[in-house]
Homo-oligomer: A and B are copies of this chain.
Amino acid sequence: MVVNGTTAPQRSAAGYSEVQASRLRVSLPLPEVLKNSFKVVDGPPSSSAGNSDEIAKLFPNLFGQPSAVLVPSDTSAAASDQTLKIGVVLSGGQAPGGHNVIAGLFDYLEERTKGSTLYGFRGGPAGIMNRKYVFLTPDFVHPYRNQGGFDMICSGRDKIETPEQFKKAEETVQKLDLDGLVVIGGDDSNTNACLLAENFREKKIQTRVIGCPKTIDGDLKCKEVPTSFGFDTACKIYAEMIGNVMVDARSTGKYYHFVRLMGRSASHITLECSLQTHPNITIIGEEIQQLISELNEILAHDVVDEGGMWKSKLSSQCLQLFEFLPQAIQEQLLLERDPHGNVQVAKIETEKMLIEMVEAELESRRKEGLYKNEFRGQSHFLGYEGRCGLPSNFDANYCYALGYAAGALLHSGKTGLISSVGNLSAPVEKWTVGGTALTSLMDVERRHGKFKPVIKKAMVELEGAPFKKFASMREEWALKNHYFSPGPLQFEGPTSNVTNHTLMLELRSYA
């Protein structure tokens, strides 16, 4: 089969499968506070995630601004007869639920600022710079409700960085007379959103900017923004496939299955899928990284004695991990260093490499008469299948609230905030809604001798609740087959409202 979607025509519900069509008919619940009149209450002045002096210099207009919370109110803070001109853009890789953010924003404008205009910038930030957009109308938006993908307006990976690019963005928002812009993206895109907000404020351009947290990788999160959308759905799709492979393995015992999952530096997807399925071995990059840095210290200063006395220099967690690894990997970690003295991590990353290493190790044991069985590895890569699925009920609801909240924040005159929906372990009605100062999430990195603002990627915390839960179970999972098979994502029935372990464990630890 061959598939390519270059032309991306406007969707029509007539071309929908039964499940897609049934999702289209579902109307979404809103948090109670968004159903009635509300006002926006500012919190205390904010700081930054690090280097507040540098962040203050980079964002002189926005630094220190409070986060905002929506609370019920008899009279609405925002003028009800006001119409707005708002732009929305999708930035970066796809994540299930993006269409619902736009639908939520659209519905806010329809319901609270009748007569407003919503521009959908096409193809990501380049659409802003090149003034490529579509008018989002009820008919245009409708077929995308609760549907996966980003094809309503498509996405792109361009950034608005250089002075010329900022100039182009300014021209667009001024020509279109935009009151606001919603940027749906990951850490980089939200940093970019904040720079745009700062720039518009500085130049006295009326356009306000609100971000929304998107990424299946799950690495854009903090207490105020408990999760990025798409993570829940993507993990459920991957976990369905992993669970199926586990049942297969359990039935035949023929193969050892090695599964690699999509994701960049952060391993939240792998950790979550592990919590959902209980594989025999799970490799979490962040843990390997810590082991590698401790090993580097030891290799640089100590002698690796055959008796293993050197191991006492490892922290107890790293020692436990080291002992847990197959000998072939232990050896590679100890022996191979690149010219800078670093472990060549790329070499031990892939599922196929691991299979080959295990084969080689077992072959050498066979020659020594220590191994007599047969080892057959089967590799799997789960990637594109998870980015564009129909959003889970959680992602559908969460995105809709994020988008609706973004509308409310813009309508209230806010800028430089990221839409924030909280209390996510409660029913949707009780979710909290507000906006978090983007500068409060920032730190700086030094690049080319200059400080650059960055929203720090949330990596898997080895002291965090999800990892600790995993670490407390993995030995049992390794020795006994406690496979869990989550099955296909359900939209109806009691199992359709289960969210993910990572979110629930983290919410509990915040509480």
Which A residues form the contact surface with B (CB < 8 A)? 1-9, 15-20, 22-23, 94, 147-151, 154-155, 237, 240-253, 255-259, 261, 270, 273-274, 276-277, 279-283, 354, 378, 380, 384-390, 480-496, 498
Contacts and interface: CB of A to CB of B under 8 A. Distances in A.
Contact of A282 (B1, B270, B282): B1
B495 A1 contact: no
A481 B387 CA distance: 19
B493 A22 contact: yes
Contact of A494 (B22, B151, B257): B22
B253 A6 contact: yes
B485 A488 contact: no
A244 B385 contact: yes
A237 B245 CA distance: 12
Nearest to A488: B488
Given A488-B19, A492-B493, A5 B244 contact: no
B487 A389 contact: yes
Contacts of A16: 484-485
Given A282-B1, A490-B490, A485 B256 contact: no
B387 A2 contact: no
Q: How many copies does the complex hold?
A: 2
Contacts of A3: 242, 245-246, 249, 256-257, 259, 279-280, 483
A1 B488 contact: no
Closest 9 CB pairs of A and B: A5-B250, A19-B487, A5-B249, A492-B493, A6-B253, A149-B247, A247-B388, A488-B488, A2-B281
Of the candidates A237, A386, A485, the one having the most CB atoms from chain B within 10 angstroms of its own CB is A485
B486 A17 contact: yes
A250 B498 contact: no
A390 B273 CA distance: 18
A17 B388 contact: no
Given A2-B256, A248-B384, A390-B488, 8 more contacts: A1-B274, A4-B257, A5-B481, A9-B480, A15-B482, A23-B487, A244-B388, A380-B385
Given A18-B494, A274-B1, A244 B483 contact: no
A384 B251 contact: no
Contact of A493 (B4, B7, B256, B493): B493
A8 B7 CA distance: 48
A15 B5 CA distance: 41
B4 A485 contact: no
A434 B250 CA distance: 33
